[in-house]
Chains A and B, each alone.
Chain A
Amino acid sequence: MLITCPYCGPRDVIEFTYQGDGNRERPQPASQDLDAWNAYVYDRLNPAGDHSEIWQHSGGCRAHLRVVRNTITHEILSTEFARGGHKSADNRAEDRP
């Protein structure tokens, strides 16, 4: 399986660390909403089909990526920086802090 990192280009899956379901919403740190925290920690969307998930390029640029991948075929449909804004290596300077 190859994942195309927006910085580094297509790289083997062994360079990446899987961080799971990318649809979870972390409550505000001060939140006392137990249901929201429980959902964040324990609940996962686990579809047979397209899945939006977070990977880190831990063996490369260490960027966190949002990858849409099909869990039946393992086909990767899109890759972008998890925090958004960036789409490709070409425009990476635009959003740099």
Chain B
Amino acid sequence: MAEYSAFSLLKNALTGNKDWKPAWRKPDPKASYDVIVIGGGGHGLSTAYYLAKEHGITNVAVLEKGWLGSGNVGRNTTAVRSNYLLPQNTRFYEHSMKLWENLSHDLNYNVMFSQRGCLNLAHTPAQLDDYARRGNAMRHLGVDAELMNVDQIKRLVPALDVSGSARFPVLGGLMQPRAGTARHDAVAWGYARGADRRGVDIIENCEVTGFLRDGGRITGVTTTRGEIRAKKVALAVAGSTGHVMQLAGISHMPIESHVLQAFVSESLKPIVDTVLTFGMGHFYISQSDKGGLVYGGDLDGYNSYAQRGSLPIVDEVMSEMLALFPGLARVRMLRSWGGLCDMTMDGSPIITTGPLPGMYLNCGWCYGGFKATPASGWCFAHTIAKDEPHEFNAPFTLDRFYRGLIIDDKGQGANPRLH
């Protein structure tokens, strides 16, 4: 299985790098499969990988409408953390963190997981109290969390404006040392290769256009590459969930699709060696290994399937960056883009059987989907294989909204654009 090793690198270097095999095949779709996973993003690919690895289900197709990794898995700002308040979220994301910690070995593919820490800055005494409460809740469940004072923060991030004259003075922060970043493309490619080598067919440029039914039961899909039947059809289509569910005849969901923008600056020498978040707005920043600052902020704030945003948020994000780092005022922005976020009514995801017979649903990642990639696929594979959720995803049902069991970490209520 270890195709990538010091020996193989040396051998291929000496032979002109002509003998590398493609990381995954390009098969034509078969007439039927045991499981179809719709969506070749991080969650769909990890679902297929864990179906094969953990449950021995290898007659699986992953259908991707574009090319592999063209959606959110290549559009996020790569942060990985498990610093939640509510126990349902903490347990799930901590399981994800533990999978991250061994992911490169598991996949024999370097996902460049870098546990550089994630620091949430506090700017008011009440916010610092709130962070202390969240840190205690995390530690209570065995997750690492440390409250930092201003002197510690100044030593950790010297470029940060921690003076009393800052627009929003920094009073402290909550650090999760095991949090960090990973190379998002490598996560998609690593899972794709791992799934492919176990027999999963990854079918790109294959858009689902409808569902096949036998009575009320979903028995397959129609696609731009023909009909494909399956015993089980699993959706992992993130921002397109509303659209694909409409194809299945379900018009209303507790989800709105919104656009979130992200930005990369020109390459700089190392200036931020952690993931930093601003507490008086919505802003987060880290620095890639190439030196570019990777950062983002709020949603544009209205329903969108456009994968591009508008200028007011660009202005807001830059303002927030300069409130923290006045020294970055002359740094030029290199690229910006948008991704679709499937925002739920409580800010927490949905991983469940149903809602139709033969269907399985994985959605509602808001803008926290990337860090969940391993656990999302792991739990979804369990749910598909066993026809019941694992205890880690048992709270993330679709009907929790109607049963008074919402998991609202931010306490924003049924207002998706604020989660």
- In the complex, what residues of A have CB within 8 A of residue B271's CB? none
Which of B134-142, B238-246, B285-293 binds A? B238-246
| Closest chain B CB from A14 CB (angstroms) | 5
A:1-19 near B, CB below 8 Å = 1, 12-14, 18
When the two chains form their complex, are residues A74 and B303 in contact, meaning their CB atoms are under 8 A apart? no
Interface mask (B231-259 → A, CB under 8 Å = 1, otherwise 0): 00000000011110010000111111100
When the two chains form their complex, are residues B401 and A71 in contact, meaning their CB atoms are under 8 A apart? no
When the two chains form their complex, are residues A71 and B417 in contact, meaning their CB atoms are under 8 A apart? no
Alpha-carbon gap, A47 to B253, bound state (A) = 11
When the two chains form their complex, are residues A20 and B303 in contact, meaning their CB atoms are under 8 A apart? yes
When the two chains form their complex, are residues B301 and A44 in contact, meaning their CB atoms are under 8 A apart? no
Q: For this complex, into which size category does the number of interface residues on chain B fall?
A: 20 to 34
- In the complex, what residues of B have CB within 8 A of residue A21's CB? 256, 303
Alpha-carbon gap, A21 to B377, bound state (A) = 31
Interface mask (A31-74 → B, CB under 8 Å = 1, otherwise 0): 00011001101111111100101000000000000000101111
- In the complex, what residues of A have CB within 8 A of residue B310's CB? 1, 13, 74
| Closest chain B CB from A67 CB (angstroms) | 9
Q: A38-B402, A53-B303 are in contact. Are A45 and B312 (CB under 8 A)?
A: no
Interface mask (B114-142 → A, CB under 8 Å = 1, otherwise 0): 00000000000000000000000000000
Q: For this complex, into which size category does the number of interface residues on chain A fall?
A: 20 to 34
- In the complex, what residues of A have CB within 8 A of residue B254's CB? 42-44
When the two chains form their complex, are residues A46 and B256 in contact, meaning their CB atoms are under 8 A apart? yes
Alpha-carbon gap, A45 to B312, bound state (A) = 26
Q: A14-B312, A71-B257 are in contact. Are A46 and B306 (CB under 8 A)?
A: no
Alpha-carbon gap, A71 to B340, bound state (A) = 11
- In the complex, what residues of B have CB within 8 A of residue A48's CB? 240, 242-243, 257, 305
- In the complex, what residues of B have CB within 8 A of residue A34's CB? 402
- In the complex, what residues of B have CB within 8 A of residue A45's CB? 251-252
Alpha-carbon gap, A88 to B168, bound state (A) = 43
When the two chains form their complex, are residues A72 and B303 in contact, meaning their CB atoms are under 8 A apart? no
When the two chains form their complex, are residues A71 and B303 in contact, meaning their CB atoms are under 8 A apart? yes
The answer, among B253, B304, B345, for a CB contact under 8 Å with A71, is B304
- Interface check B302, CB cutoff 8 A: yes
Chain A binding site: helix, strand, loop or mixed by DSSP? mixed
| Closest chain A CB from B208 CB (angstroms) | 13
- In the complex, what residues of B have CB within 8 A of residue A20's CB? 256, 303, 415-417
When the two chains form their complex, are residues A46 and B257 in contact, meaning their CB atoms are under 8 A apart? yes
When the two chains form their complex, are residues A18 and B302 in contact, meaning their CB atoms are under 8 A apart? yes
When the two chains form their complex, are residues A39 and B246 in contact, meaning their CB atoms are under 8 A apart? no
When the two chains form their complex, are residues A53 and B302 in contact, meaning their CB atoms are under 8 A apart? yes
Alpha-carbon gap, A48 to B305, bound state (A) = 6
- In the complex, what residues of A have CB within 8 A of residue B256's CB? 20-21, 44, 46
A1 and chain B: residue at smallest CB distance: B310
When the two chains form their complex, are residues B417 and A18 in contact, meaning their CB atoms are under 8 A apart? yes
The answer, among B253, B301, B401, for a CB contact under 8 Å with A46, is B253
Alpha-carbon gap, A39 to B253, bound state (A) = 9
- Interface check B385, CB cutoff 8 A: no
When the two chains form their complex, are residues A71 and B306 in contact, meaning their CB atoms are under 8 A apart? yes
When the two chains form their complex, are residues A74 and B301 in contact, meaning their CB atoms are under 8 A apart? no
Alpha-carbon gap, A41 to B415, bound state (A) = 9
B305 and chain A: residue at smallest CB distance: A48
Q: A71-B303, A71-B304, A72-B306 are in contact. Are A39 and B252 (CB under 8 A)?
A: yes
Alpha-carbon gap, A72 to B306, bound state (A) = 5
When the two chains form their complex, are residues A46 and B303 in contact, meaning their CB atoms are under 8 A apart? yes
Alpha-carbon gap, A13 to B314, bound state (A) = 14
- In the complex, what residues of B have CB within 8 A of residue A38's CB? 401-402
Interface residues of B (CB under 8 A from A): 240-243, 246, 251-257, 301-306, 310, 312, 345, 401-402, 414-417
Q: Across chains A and B, which 8 residue pairs bring their CB atoms closest together, nearest first? A: A46-B242, A43-B252, A48-B243, A42-B401, A48-B305, A42-B254, A38-B402, A18-B302
Q: List 7 A-B contacts (CB under 8 A).
A: A12-B312, A43-B254, A44-B253, A46-B243, A47-B243, A72-B306, A73-B306
Other contacts beyond A35-B402, A42-B401, A47-B242: 11, CB < 8 A: A13-B310, A18-B417, A20-B416, A34-B402, A38-B402, A39-B252, A41-B414, A44-B242, A46-B242, A46-B256, A74-B310
